[in-house]
Structure 1
């Protein structure tokens, strides 16, 4: 009589089922797709704001009002299109950022930072954890450009 080598079909099916159960329970701990997507969206928002500021500042410099503040009462408000600028850069307000970047307002949460000087605003996606945000600080004077905060990692989102 010959001795049979190998596994039976039932043994193979049981091993596949056990591996499937392990994969279903362990995979979400190692794959944070939602956090990656939120962090990428914030990085995209930051890049859009930086690019927009670069373009608006160039237009303000061509127009000769890159050194004017929006609250200057001696001259008309420095605007490019519908966007009010502060020293040639986008103001840190929800309305100005939405207009400048042409984004969907309902997808984002804009939270002004209370009593901050210079003016700051925090941006996050709707439904994101509280640590998943970045801060934009508008230009404080004609020699200081705006400051863009760090984008959190996918683990924080």
Structure 2
């Protein structure tokens, strides 16, 4: 009688079960996709605001309105050529802004406005994108303030 070499079905099932247990316990340490997604969406909003501000400034420059304190360019209120720091001006400049994001009421100041996730009840200090209007000597700026639950992981 010839002896066969190989694994039995039970040995294969045991190995698969062990690999499954390892995957369930180890995967969450390496995959933090939710925080990465939130951080990426904040960066995406920053890029959208920066892009819209640049396009608006270009339109204002073409019309000769970039040096004026307050003007109107294509229905967008601008300050020194960049969108004003109001929800109306930014909503007009950034397509879809009001659909996915909400203004953080606790961060409203003169010349500055902050946005956070529409479904987020986060406090006014974390997970926000802050837009500061232009001044006569400086362009408008956009800043991301990440916080708990929206900080990208450093793991690869």
TM-score after normalising by structure 2: 0.78
Q: 1:93 aligns with which of 86, 89, 92?
A: 86
For structure 2, the residue ranges without an aligned partner over 5 or more in a row are none
Q: 2:128 aligns with which of 121, 130, 133?
A: 133
> Is 2:36 the partner of 1:36?
yes
2: CA distance, partners of 1:109 / 1:63: 31
| Residue in 1 that maps onto 2:22 | 22
RMSD between aligned residues? 2.4
What count of residue pairs does the alignment treat as equivalent?
145
TM-score after normalising by structure 1: 0.77
1: CA distance, partners of 2:119 / 2:32: 16
Q: 1:123 aligns with which of 115, 122, 137?
A: 115
| Residue in 2 that maps onto 1:8 | 8
2: CA distance, partners of 1:24 / 1:83: 51
| Residue in 1 that maps onto 2:152 | 154
Instruction: Note the C-alpha offset of 1:5.
Output: 5.5
Which SS does the other structure have where 1:121 is aligned? strand
